[in-house]
């Protein structure tokens, strides 16, 4: 069961229920026969109870929801609930949203609930979602209860103020969590400094998903490795460096998803002479998302290749953009060439030359979705023109399999090019395209797969209005999906990646 990753707008005060003994089935009050509610077998009723748990996340220790509510209906249901340990294997504890203004949360009840549920869960592995905006000394009892069951952890998602992290993690990493599969650590606010936690051996041998956000904590798996780790997301952790990113890519051999937001100014340093001589293969990596603010992410791309890569999202702001000649980003095309992956989705916001754009496009013929950005001046007329499919040399068409195109920072100077791109790639209502109506240059019998275009205007206040152009309107009426909206600032959220790939 995966938890709800979004930040919930409501936080209900949790209460602990007293333990109830397992009692036998009750009798109908007017006779010796069982009531209809008792006629279901234990197995059936137990399974029904499990279906009452939240589809996402974990249940609260509240008498208003399952499983505590089920144990209050009648003695028979209470007996079934108490004999179904899996009902109590996960719990959601946290502040009421009102506690932000008037911190009166009953942390003692939370500690009692966590302890009681661990008993009712029997030998089941335990999952906790702990969300505290405030963390006074009296909350330490809750943390102590959770830490005491480290040997049974399966899923841990914790949101705490930054000052609490050092104490909690220092205690956590000294323990062994042999069954922990999912770890999500979120700080209540961005920490001003970063700490590296050395994971002991064996540490977390079964960990497959790690999410770190605003907590100022990084994990070092250099000594232990992380053979089962498949999903790593690091967002808004201060001073995350390219070296830190490289450690994850290098020491996690089965990593499938890696997403990181880097705002450190430190360049990539020499990790080892051996590493520099050998290009590392990240053989399982399917999704790579890097948002780099100040360092040169191209240094990182030169260290590895990813033959299984399916989705690439790469933004690099270290050159600043603006008018003048582009700085270039020569590492992308060689990375794509070395990987030889069946890449289907690419989103790039890079200071690239026209030749670098085209070289990268030619190495990704299987792309079905592409997102390009014009607001920093990186997208030239030549690059836009290359996306138009023409009758002349159809075998040389760039990105022939595109189904989705997303363009940001679109202004009026791009309207004609976008219109030609759309008309040359959309098949039209009859499957023959509209391009035959606007001249020989746009005609042709090639396969057209485009079915959606998302356009975001040049600023936050207005859309591009390209949907008002007659040809685009005709495409929309014919079934093409066109979204025309104001510019959206790109933001990076761990929740985007908190799930199965």
pLDDT at 103: 65
Confidence category of residue 496, pLDDT binned at 50, 70, 90: low
pTM of the model: 0.83
Q: How far is CA 179 from CA 153, 256, 498, in A?
A: 6, 20, 19
pLDDT score of 426? 93
Least confident piece of the model among 68-77, 185-194, 404-413: 185-194
Least confident of 39-43, 186-190, 422-426: 186-190
Identify the residue whose tokens are 């956000």.
Answer: 213
**Omega within 30 of 0 (cis) for the link into 202:** yes
Query: Could you tell me the sign of the dihedral formed by the alpha carbons of 202, 206, 209, 213, in that order?
Result: negative
Concatenating the DSSP letter of every residue in 162-183 gives HHHHHHHHHHHHHS--TT--EE
Longest dimension (CA), the chain: 91
Is pLDDT above 70 for 353?
A: yes
Read off the tokens for 96. Answer: 């009421």
- DSSP type of residue 450: B
pLDDT at 29: 44
| Residue whose tokens read 């911190």 | 103
Are 48 and 86 spatial neighbours (Cβ–Cβ below 8 Å)? no
Average pLDDT, rounded, for the chain: 81
The pLDDT, as a whole number, for residue 436 is 40
Question: Of 422, 418, 330, 318, which Cα lies nearest the Cα of 376?
Answer: 318
* Residue 212 banded pLDDT, cuts 50, 70, 90: confident
pLDDT category, 91, cuts 50, 70, 90? very high
Is the peptide bond preceding residue 71 cis, with omega within 30 degrees of 0? Answer: no
Kindly report, residue by residue over 131-167, the tens digit of the pLDDT.
Answer: 887 777 778 889 899 999 999 999 999 888 766 766 6
Lookup result for tokens 């209470």? 78
Q: What is the pLDDT of residue 284?
A: 97
pLDDT band at 188 (very low <50, low <70, confident <90, very high): low
Burial class (CB in 10 A: 0-12, 13-18, 19+), 223: exposed
Scanning 52-192, the segments in alpha helix (DSSP H) are 75-82, 107-120, 140-148, 162-174
From the list 442, 440, 441, 500, the residue with the least C-alpha distance to 475 is: 442
* Contacts for 9 with CB less than 8 Å, ≥ 6 apart: 97
**Residue among 80, 81, 87, 85 nearest 58 (CA):** 87
Check whether 344 has a pLDDT greater than 90: yes
Over residues 64-73, the pLDDT tens digits come to 999 999 999 9
- Any alpha helices (H) in 157-296, and if so which ranges? 162-174, 242-251, 273-277
> Looking at 100-114, 138-152, 311-325, which range is the least confident one?
311-325
What percentage of the chain reaches a pLDDT higher than 70?
75
Least confident range of 189-203, 411-425, 460-474, 481-495? 189-203
Which SS3 state, helix, strand or coil, does residue 125 take? coil
Range of weakest confidence among 23-37, 339-353, 456-470: 23-37
Cα separation of 496 and 44, whole Å?
36
What pLDDT does 48 receive? 94
Greater confidence (332 vs 165) lies with 332
What digits encode the pLDDT tens for the residues 438-492?
444 455 678 899 999 998 887 766 777 888 888 899 999 999 999 988 876 655 5
**Signed CA dihedral, 314, 316, 322, 328: sign only:** negative
Q: What is the dihedral of CA 133, 139, 140, 142, to 10 degrees?
A: -100
Whether 219 shows a pLDDT value over 90: the answer reads no
CA distance 42 to 406: 54
Number of H helices, E strands in the chain: 13, 18
**CA-to-CA dists, residue 403 to 87, 286, 383, 410, 449, angstroms:** 44, 20, 18, 19, 5
pLDDT of 432 > 70? The answer is no
User: Token pair for residue 486?
Assistant: 């104001």
Q: What is the mean pLDDT of residues 87-103?
A: 77
pLDDT at 484: 87
Is 194's pLDDT higher than 70?
no
- Per-residue pLDDT, averaged over 92-97, amounts to 78
Mean pLDDT of 314-337: 82
pLDDT of residue 420: 93
pLDDT in tens, 225-268: 678 899 999 987 767 889 989 989 988 899 999 999 988 888 88
Q: Where are the domains of the chain?
A: 368-501
Q: Has residue 100 got a pLDDT over 80?
A: no
């Amino acid at each position: 069961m995966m938890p709800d990753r979004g930040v919930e707008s409501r936080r209900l005060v949790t209460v602990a229920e007293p333990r109830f003994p397992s009692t036998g089935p009750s009798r109908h009050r007017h006779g010796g026969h069982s009531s209809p509610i008792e006629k279901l077998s234990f197995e059936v009723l137990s399974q029904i109870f499990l279906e009452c748990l939240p589809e996402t996340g974990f249940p609260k220790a509240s008498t208003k929801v399952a499983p505590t509510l089920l144990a209050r209906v009648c003695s028979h249901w209470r007996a079934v609930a108490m004999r179904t340990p899996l009902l109590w294997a996960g719990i959601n504890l946290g502040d009421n949203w009102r506690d932000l203004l008037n911190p009166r949360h009953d942390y003692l009840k939370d500690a009692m609930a966590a302890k009681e549920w661990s008993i009712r869960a029997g030998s089941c592995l335990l999952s906790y979602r702990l969300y505290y905006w405030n963390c006074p000394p009296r909350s330490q009892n809750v943390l102590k209860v959770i830490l005491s069951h480290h040997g049974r952890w399966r899923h841990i998602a914790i949101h705490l103020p930054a000052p609490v992290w050092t104490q909690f993690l220092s205690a956590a990493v000294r323990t062994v969590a042999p069954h922990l599969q999912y770890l999500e650590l979120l700080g209540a606010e961005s920490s001003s400094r970063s700490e590296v936690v050395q994971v002991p051996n064996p540490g977390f041998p079964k960990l497959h998903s790690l999410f770190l956000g605003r907590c100022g904590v990084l994990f070092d798996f250099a000594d232990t490795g992380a053979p089962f780790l498949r999903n790593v997301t690091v967002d808004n952790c201060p001073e995350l460096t390219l070296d830190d990113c490289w450690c994850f890519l290098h020491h996690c051999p089965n990593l499938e998803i890696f997403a990181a937001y880097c705002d450190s100014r430190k360049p990539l340093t020499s990790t080892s002479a051996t590493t520099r001589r050998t290009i590392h293969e990240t053989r399982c990596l399917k999704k790579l998302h890097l948002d780099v603010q100040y360092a040169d992410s191209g240094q990182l791309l030169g260290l590895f290749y990813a033959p299984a890569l399916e989705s690439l999202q790469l933004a690099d702001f270290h050159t600043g953009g603006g008018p003048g000649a582009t700085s270039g980003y020569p590492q992308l095309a060689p990375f794509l060439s070395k990987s030889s992956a069946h890449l289907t989705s690419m989103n790039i916001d890079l200071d690239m030359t026209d030749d670098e754009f085209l070289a990268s496009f030619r190495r990704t013929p299987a792309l079905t979705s592409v997102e390009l950005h014009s607001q920093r001046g990186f997208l030239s007329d030549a690059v836009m023109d290359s996306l138009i499919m023409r009758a002349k040399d159809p075998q040389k068409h760039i990105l022939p399999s595109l189904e989705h195109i997303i363009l940001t920072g679109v202004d009026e100077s791009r309207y004609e090019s976008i219109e030609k791109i759309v008309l040359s790639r959309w098949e039209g209502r009859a499957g023959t395209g509209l391009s035959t109506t606007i001249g020989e240059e746009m005609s042709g019998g090639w396969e057209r797969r485009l079915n959606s275009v998302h356009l975001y205007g040049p600023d936050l206040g207005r859309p591009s209005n390209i949907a008002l152009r007659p040809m685009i309107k005709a495409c929309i009426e014919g079934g093409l999906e066109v979204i025309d909206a104001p510019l959206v600032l790109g933001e990076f959220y761990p929740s985007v990646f908190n799930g199965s790939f």
